[in-house]
Structure 1
């Protein structure tokens, strides 16, 4: 049996190698995690013939639920995106709340859109609407509305299933808690939405920013477009600045969205054909459907006795994978077939959504391999044990470990899975309630959000599409992610005290 300090040294070396290969050598996170897992297992004394079986076990144990949730979540998000669902939600919210509340309207809409759709895809979809709404509201730049929207969306991406990081950590620490984590994550996002709006208005709205010339010109064009009338429900003509498909488009250095003509209000163009846009109420209902189903399952386990027919039925209905499957099937028909999409087009949309999801799923699986190695070799026990002996509470420990990984290498998914792997043994061996474990999982998600900076792809997506310099990105994106991460952590700590 190795000493805890030797195992701690192995853990530090493993993390250093992981960060070096990802940051300096630019290796894919999937390859880096697998290589580091092999080296860690050998260094910690795992027999050479047991290394690969241990990796397979870690990969398989993680992918069971992750592949289901991330894959179905990506497909549901894909059909909502391609059929114009994100845009109609934003425009409908503006109609209901009025032009004077355009910022609040778009923030609410973005929160709904961010639940099933990955951050980068969802934000790129909303960029043209952000520009138009900001101009209509009288802002000098789109940042005043756009940055709070971006930060709230990435907050949801880090704390609410079916997004990969929180799904992976929940799988490692309490697979049967997916529904509870979902409900708590959404509940936490509500006050954070209010906070990011208030802080964004104070910090960002009062400042003048020097925009990239292309973005500045695009902002002027978007402001003149008829989309600006979305708050009053008027369009009546063609608009510019439509968002390209984010499944096909990713921001590269110096690249911005180009202006192109889009169909008139109530239509969306795809593959050379024009289709009717779905009503906002239908899109919102489809986003809320799996959430309601999951809530029913979670409440059912609390109300009915274990093993009863009612409890079993509600548990089945509320299983996140089943809830997403139902929502996806209904979306295919109601958003696709009922609005003029052919079977082949729908199939292509759904299959296309799995491309980006496959990368996420594999990286998540590799993170599960690393976590399994840390657990089986005792490295996770040694690290978390030493930190706990030093008096670091488990909730704060979860947050800090994820934060260190996040600041060092940028990927929220890698940070989340690595942190979950390090504390997994301590959590599973501890006498924690379901609510406490769910709070630990959310604390990891918050750590993987806080202090996001230039090594985070989200930083570049938000700053480039909003036309900010790196310095202004640090003053806005980094400040707001840190404010939300720390503030939400305070709320979790208060709940922990009474849990």
Structure 2
């Protein structure tokens, strides 16, 4: 459902949104109401309070819910299938052991974060995180301590790349709306994302991991001692099967095999995003059939489906039957039903806020403040992010709003790139309960709402502030 003309002023809509968030937190944290029920209930109340016509309330609710499920459900489902196969056969342990042997135990969070930065170049935040979960869990199980010590730097790396670096849709759309250079945005964006991640996500994430001891969850990939026993693989790597159980031992897949399985979805998705970018620039014709085929298999759900099938038929020989793999998949899918529903309900809440017209009201108010352009870009994106949850909406709305001023000032491509980063930074900060990504991180890392606010919300904020600080430092230079 598209945003309607605001019934109330921006101030009233902000008050409604704030009360809705407080009510939601009260129901979940104090009343202990299930998050899915609380999100749906508060979404209904918010829609009515915001003045959405009663006959349109169901559309407003289902619009945000269905669009979020459409983007999350398939990739989460295929992602946990792939993760379960890798953990069951010891492949995740092989990859984790190889990374740790090369980087060392003390640098395990750094190793995971650097790997996520590389893999995060073509892939969306949620897809990358899902594929990396079995590796994060395996490393955490080996060394102990809080899952956040390893999970937050990794998730922060995917978030940084997704926010700042083309060919991700946010920075591409922002650069295009402001008539900037996507290529130059990419060139400057990579070091900005890396430095912003290190200062705002890696250092902060490891510190938060030391402060908040969150146990390793069993969600999606089974308990630590479930699965096959696995003998040492090539190079001395050891697989799953610790704990003294009596399972039959099998040889773990090689490091190269596991790495290729993880690379496959990233390569396919990279083809899709790369070809899409080239088509936008006119380098590839819209009528090219071969490009259509590559973009089809590079769609995230299709790429993950292909990867699951390849993993199934390459890992199965001498390890398990296809029938037993079906049982594995059933177990994995059953455990993520709550994650998918809660994430969809988070999208519903954000969708209701967008449909209420709060975004339009905010942009009209903030656009007339006369702030310096870089600060204006950051603050408008921040306000939209906090108010309605969607980073993509915050980026595209802000970029469209400031585009006339950018054109009037005749800014060069380098400064437009910095504006893209300022907008991306604002759309990153203060992830909270109206953001579907908040619930994805919360449930996958086994955190309650209070802990997620104290960790993930803080990390997203420091990451966004770091990126904005880099843009502000570079502004006078360019």
- TM-score tier, shorter chain, comes to 0.5 to 0.7
Alignment of structure 1 residues 275-314 onto 2, 5 Å? 275-303=250-278, 304-309=283-288, 310-314=290-294
Distance change (3 Å), C-alpha of 1:57 and 1:488: same
Distance change (3 Å), C-alpha of 1:289 and 1:328: same
- Whole-angstrom distance in 1 between the partners of 2:212 and 2:154: 22
Contact 1:380 1:421 in 2 (8 A): no
SS at match of 2:336: helix
Distance change (3 Å), C-alpha of 1:444 and 1:78: farther
Alignment of structure 1 residues 472-491 onto 2, 5 Å? 484=463, 486-491=465-470
**What does residue 397 of structure 2 align with?**
426
**What does residue 343 of structure 1 align with?**
322
Contact 1:151 1:481 in 2 (8 A): no
**What does residue 320 of structure 1 align with?**
300
Pairing partner for 2:54 from 39, 44, 48 = 48
Pairing partner for 2:76 from 70, 78, 92 = 70
Tell me if 1:357 matches 2:336: yes
- Whole-angstrom distance in 2 between the partners of 1:188 and 1:81: 34
Tell me if 1:152 matches 2:153: yes
Contact 1:55 1:369 in 2 (8 A): yes
Following TM superposition, by how much is the alpha carbon of 1:201 offset from its aligned partner in structure 2, in angstroms?
Answer: 13
Distance change (3 Å), C-alpha of 1:460 and 1:93: closer
Distance change (3 Å), C-alpha of 1:9 and 1:396: closer
SS at match of 1:275: strand
Task: Answer with 375-384 or 106-115: which moved more.
Answer: 106-115
**What does residue 91 of structure 1 align with?**
97
Following TM superposition, by how much is the alpha carbon of 1:288 offset from its aligned partner in structure 2, in angstroms?
Answer: 1.5
Distance change (3 Å), C-alpha of 1:81 and 1:337: same
Q: Name segments (4+ residues, structure 1) moved above 6 Å.
A: 180-189, 200-204, 209-212, 431-439, 458-462, 476-482, 492-499
- Whole-angstrom distance in 1 between the partners of 2:353 and 2:321: 48
- Whole-angstrom distance in 2 between the partners of 1:358 and 1:396: 36
- Whole-angstrom distance in 1 between the partners of 2:205 and 2:11: 48
**What does residue 237 of structure 1 align with?**
none
Distance change (3 Å), C-alpha of 1:41 and 1:119: same
Following TM superposition, by how much is the alpha carbon of 1:88 offset from its aligned partner in structure 2, in angstroms?
Answer: 0.6
TM-score calculated relative to the size of structure 2? 0.65
Following TM superposition, by how much is the alpha carbon of 1:25 offset from its aligned partner in structure 2, in angstroms?
Answer: 1.9
Contact 2:362 2:384 in 1 (8 A): no
SS at match of 2:70: helix
- Whole-angstrom distance in 1 between the partners of 2:61 and 2:376: 30
Alignment of structure 1 residues 153-168 onto 2, 5 Å? 153-156=154-157, 158=159
Deviations 1:60-89 (A, max 9, x none): 233222222222222222222222222111
**What does residue 393 of structure 1 align with?**
376
SS at match of 1:117: helix
**What does residue 16 of structure 1 align with?**
22
Distance change (3 Å), C-alpha of 1:395 and 1:315: farther
Distance change (3 Å), C-alpha of 1:292 and 1:151: same
Tell me if 1:376 matches 2:355: yes
TM-score calculated relative to the size of structure 1? 0.63
Following TM superposition, by how much is the alpha carbon of 1:126 offset from its aligned partner in structure 2, in angstroms?
Answer: 1.9
Contact 1:62 1:368 in 2 (8 A): yes
**What does residue 221 of structure 1 align with?**
none
Contact 1:112 1:284 in 2 (8 A): no
Distance change (3 Å), C-alpha of 1:153 and 1:68: same
Pairing partner for 2:345 from 338, 354, 366 = 366
Distance change (3 Å), C-alpha of 1:427 and 1:192: closer
- Whole-angstrom distance in 2 between the partners of 1:75 and 1:422: 30
- Whole-angstrom distance in 2 between the partners of 1:302 and 1:348: 40
Unmatched tracts of structure 1, length 5 or more: 132-141, 162-168, 175-179, 216-242, 251-256, 406-416, 450-455, 463-469
**What does residue 103 of structure 1 align with?**
106
Contact 2:428 2:463 in 1 (8 A): no
Following TM superposition, by how much is the alpha carbon of 1:121 offset from its aligned partner in structure 2, in angstroms?
Answer: 5.7
Following TM superposition, by how much is the alpha carbon of 1:437 offset from its aligned partner in structure 2, in angstroms?
Answer: 7.6
Distance change (3 Å), C-alpha of 1:439 and 1:329: farther
SS at match of 1:5: helix
- Whole-angstrom distance in 2 between the partners of 1:289 and 1:281: 12
Distance change (3 Å), C-alpha of 1:424 and 1:46: farther
Following TM superposition, by how much is the alpha carbon of 1:277 offset from its aligned partner in structure 2, in angstroms?
Answer: 1.0
- Whole-angstrom distance in 2 between the partners of 1:480 and 1:425: 23
- Whole-angstrom distance in 2 between the partners of 1:477 and 1:51: 31
Distance change (3 Å), C-alpha of 1:149 and 1:495: farther
Alignment of structure 1 residues 440-451 onto 2, 5 Å? 444-445=427-428, 447-448=430-431
Distance change (3 Å), C-alpha of 1:201 and 1:351: closer
**What does residue 44 of structure 2 align with?**
38
SS at match of 2:316: helix
Following TM superposition, by how much is the alpha carbon of 1:340 offset from its aligned partner in structure 2, in angstroms?
Answer: 1.0
Following TM superposition, by how much is the alpha carbon of 1:397 offset from its aligned partner in structure 2, in angstroms?
Answer: 4.4
